[in-house]
Structure 1
Amino acid sequence: MTRGSLQCFPGSLSDLTVNQVRTRAKIGNKPEWKVTVTNKCICSFLQVMLLCPGFDSVETIKPTSKLVSKIGPKLCLINDGSPIYGGKTFVFTYASDQEIAYAPFSFQEACS
């Protein structure tokens, strides 16, 4: 398999992108941020962990059915460990005075 759009094996951290934008909403008088995590690989990524230093949202993470949970002082598990399928995104929002410097940290690859 060649590397390129939606083609990768094995996957690497560069196949996960994290983008965020400030929304116009305020939650508890704090700005809301929308985070999009994209899996650019054709394979699914499970147990996706992001660096999330300073993560402390005043807003309940949405969607609540797909959690973002803090694992230790600087790591967050996203999508409750469930897969982010190849070519798909996982989106959540949080509210904080400061934008959190999310960055890919680790994942388990599932490719068949």
Structure 2
Amino acid sequence: MEFFNKFLCFVLFVCFMTKGSLQCYPATLTDLKVDQVRTGAKIGNKPEWKVTIANKCVCTFLEVTLLCPGFDVAEITKPSSNIISKSGPKSCLLNSGQAIYGGTTFTFTYASNQNIAFAPFSFREACS
């Protein structure tokens, strides 16, 4: 009976240890969270929008692309445009394709008469 209790404790310990590190493995597009709000400011007579993109996974994402139909990089108000760039007619590359580590958040603002429907589209996962 004592062996069974020790074995059960060991199994529970292993389950708790792996829960944190494997909670999003394999990662999916839902692990990239995109939030967008209107700031209330106007830039060149256009409303300003704030976009926050967060990697909610512990894994690192590479070559993250977003759907961004109608987006023009010239509309970015802050920070510099290297945080997001056009990579196709309806897609944008985040962080120049560089690594986006688990827990990382990117924020930028842009001015446009209507909000752009930013949505996660693709990424390459690097999780070890």
Structure-2-length-normalised TM-score: 0.77
Unpaired segments ≥5 residues, structure 1: none
State the match for 1:51 in structure 2.
67
Q: Cα offset for 1:45?
A: 0.9
RMSD: 2.1
Q: Cα offset for 1:57?
A: 5.2
State the match for 1:76 in structure 2.
92
Larger deviation: 41-50 or 63-72? 63-72
* Cα distance in structure 1, aligned partners of 2:74 and 2:81: 18
* Cα distance in structure 2, aligned partners of 1:14 and 1:47: 16
Report if aligned partners of 2:76, 2:108 keep a CA contact under 8 Å in 1.
no
Name segments (4+ residues, structure 1) moved above 6 Å: none
State the match for 1:30 in structure 2.
46
Count of aligned pairs: 111
Change in Cα spacing, 1:86 to 1:54, as seen in structure 2 (3 Å) is: same
Q: 1:19-65 CA distances to partner (integer Å, 9 max, x unpaired)?
A: 00001221111111110111110011111100001112553452217
If you compute each CA radius of gyration, which structure gives the higher value, 1 or 2?
Answer: 2
Structure-1-length-normalised TM-score: 0.87
* Cα distance in structure 2, aligned partners of 1:19 and 1:27: 20
Q: Indicate the SS of the match to 1:18.
A: strand
Structure with greater helix share of residues: 2
**Match for 1:11 among 12, 27, 30?**
27
Unpaired segments ≥5 residues, structure 2: 1-17
Structure with greater strand share of residues: 1
Q: 1:89-112 CA distances to partner (integer Å, 9 max, x unpaired)?
A: 111111100100011000111122
Identical positions, percent: 68
* Cα distance in structure 1, aligned partners of 2:67 and 2:50: 16
